[in-house]
Amino acid sequence: MNQTIDDLIAHARSQPAPLLPLLHRLHERDGYLSDETLRAVAEGLKIPIADLFGTVTFYHHFARVEGGFTAPRVCDGPVCRLAGAHELLTQLDGAKPMPCSGRCDEPIPVLRGGQTFVGLSADALEARPTPLPPTPPAGTEECVFRHIRDDGRNTLEGYRSTGGYSALEKAVTSMTPEDVIAEVDASELAGRGGAGFPTGRKWRAVQDAEGGPKTVVCNADEGEPGCFKDRALMDHDPHAVLEGIALACFATGAPRAFLYLRYEYPETEHLLTAAIQEAERAGMLGDDVFGTGHTIRIHIRRGAGAYICGEETSLLNSLEGKHPFPRNRPPDPVTDGYEGTPTAVNNVETLAAVPPILLHGADWYRDLGLGGHAGTKVISLSGDVHTPGNYEVPIGLPFRTLIEEWAGGTRAGNAIQAVTMAGLSGGFLAGDDLDVTLDEPSIRSKGSMLGAGGIMVFDETRNMIEIAHMAMEFFADESCGKCFPCRIGTQRLTERLAGGGDRHEGIPSDIVAWLDEVADLGDTMKATSACGLGQAAPLITESLVRYFPEAVRKHVSETDG
């Protein structure tokens, strides 16, 4: 029986961060969000109607026309586009493109209502579980993937069978929060969501901050094209993520946590909900964790499609039901996060690394790295490689070793023309610069970054101008528009990369003028953009010009202004 909108609003109001779950419930119930529904929500949650309309229409996935919820959405990320996404779009009635939906190891994902299908053509589409990470070379020691391939791993019993939740039990029964933070500090674990901030230091800042209740947020937005590691962790090892969140709660003194999950992972929400219920029933989460009286409540909140919501302050605004613009800093979330409370925002992979660190010790974790680097990093590898997938590598592993020895080389043995780093945010690496090791200092020395660890490989058969255009178009579509240089700059750079019939009037066909304009736009964006999106986007054009001057020259001269 359908509940009335008043019942649903009353229930939502009894929950923290009520707007997104309420909108999702109504979206699923009615198949879209009507004007009338939005008016009732605005009144029920006391949100100005204009603000609510602005917020709802900002997200990609809230449909405003009947039947929109179940209309197919086809992944239009770079890897899927090269695999034929545009053709698939024409084969499915009423289909719309969606930005990279985090399944680049198994193109092409299609979202229909609450289910994901994958396949290269309409006839081949089928619902399949998220692929498991490929087996690494013999002798490799992993941290977060250590048990991920074990049978039954995503059940509480399976997780417990290898010591799952014993790190949490040990922490709450015989350690102080400071002990936990000291161990995490000693492990040199740093954020795996992109920025690489030391995790122990972040937790200590939250613990030391005045006010409360404190909050932990697990950032599972994973919107960076070419990144799909968090999905694998949550689907195949959900309890490890939950235990990591619980340890962050204990260390920071937070009784509550949110897991902010990207819209495009509907199956993951069910798996995580079941895992939370299982752990609560067993007394490992909830109001009396391991009989110690500690409260740790984890709430899942699902986004609605917006890359910018991965940026932590934008995420917090989204949770609070506000327009998800990034916030100005300072203050930072560690003192003024969710509803102004001290908040630790951490990536899924960062949190999943904490239980094994506490079980095996900081030295064990540090020693997993190579060449003086600490620990491991999951690399989501996709594109023109023999075996795409998630690989947990020792930090410091040579990139070419990953490609040649772990991933079976390139597709059809072709030479690599370029790869992207940090998904798209690190721009391209090519030529001799591919002789990097997989760690921030090595990759930053080439003007790029490792970030969240997405690497898309493009072989010698690919058109790099076209790929750069796709990348910039993504940033232009996803710029939240708060700051002028990013909003306009990403559009102008996209226009300069457009070829053929998409060529805009007034774009210089003189290479010197074109290069000057592109450099000027990029410099302005890097200097004045308020968040990482606007600062990173120009790396695409900078690296394109650096590695592929001839292709750029040809592109500029072939299309008349």
222 is a site residue for ligand FMN (CB under 6 A): yes
480 near ligand SF4, judged by CB under 6 A: yes
Element (H, E) at 234: helix 229-236
> Max alpha carbon distance in the chain (Å)?
73
| Contact call for residues 226 and 78 (beta carbons, < 8 A) | yes
Closest to 224 (Cα-Cα) out of 195, 190, 267, 255: 195
Q: Does 342 bind ligand FMN (CB under 6 A)?
A: no
Number of residues that bind ligand FMN (CB under 6 A): 22
Count of residues that bind ligand SF4 according to CB under 6 A: 14
d(CA 17, CA 311) in angstroms, rounded, equals 18
Which of 324/398 has CB closer to ligand SF4? 324
How many angstroms from the chain centroid is the CA of residue 397? Answer: 23
Q: Does 308 bind ligand FMN (CB under 6 A)?
A: yes
Report in angstroms how near the CB of residue 93 gets to ligand FMN at its nearest: 31
Site map 276..315 versus ligand SF4, x via CB under 6 A: --------------------------------x-------
In the complex with ligand FMN, the residue whose CB is nearer, 186 or 195, is 195
Cβ(391)–Cβ(378) under 8 Å? yes
Q: Find the binder of ligand SF4 among 194, 423, 534, 538 (CB under 6 A).
A: 534
* CA pair distance 466, 418, nearest whole angstrom: 13
Q: How are strands ordered across the β-sheet holding 73-75?
A: 96-98, 73-75, 109-112, 115-118
Q: Does 487 bind ligand SF4 (CB under 6 A)?
A: yes
Cα angle 480, 80, 525 (rounded to 5 degrees) comes to 30
SS3 state of residue 361: coil
Q: Which two tokens stand for residue 367?
A: 């020693």
CB 20 within 8 A of CB 304: yes
Q: At its nearest, how many Å lie between ligand FMN and the CB of residue 220?
A: 7
Minimum distance, C-beta of residue 541 to ligand SF4, in the bound complex (Å): 16
Rounded least distance, CB 345 to ligand SF4, Å = 16
Shortest distance in whole angstroms from residue 205 CB to ligand FMN: 12
Does the protein bind ligand FMN through residue 533 (CB under 6 A)? Answer: yes
Among 223, 244, 266, 324, binds ligand FMN (CB under 6 A): 223
Number of residues in the chain: 561
Minimal distance in Å, beta carbon 354 to ligand FMN?
10
Say whether residue 323 binds ligand SF4 (CB under 6 A).
no
Which 3 state secondary structure label does DSSP give 15? Answer: coil
Q: Give DSSP secondary structure letters for 381-421.
A: EEESBSS-EEEEEETT-BHHHIIIIIS-SBGGGPPEEEEES
Establish if 538 lies at the interface with ligand FMN (CB under 6 A): no
What is the nearest approach in angstroms of ligand FMN to the Cβ of residue 531? 5
Nearest approach in angstroms of CB 525 to ligand FMN is 13
CA distance 51 to 397: 48
DSSP per-residue letters across 502-545: GPPTT---SHHHHHHHHHHHHHHHHHH-SSHHHHHTHHHHHHHH
Site map for ligand SF4, 159-188, x if CB under 6 A?
------------------------------
Of the candidate spans 99-107, 167-175, 263-271, 476-484, the one that interacts with ligand SF4 by CB under 6 A turns out to be 476-484
410 lines the binding site for ligand SF4 (CB under 6 A): no
Question: What is the footprint of ligand SF4 within residues 412-451 (CB under 6 A)?
Answer: none
Cβ–Cβ under 8 Å, residues 143 and 356: yes
**What is the amino acid identity at position 498?**
A
| Interface residues toward ligand FMN, by CB under 6 A | 191-195, 197, 219, 221-224, 308, 310-312, 345-347, 350, 531-533
| Interface residues toward ligand SF4, by CB under 6 A | 308, 326, 479-483, 486-487, 529-531, 533-534
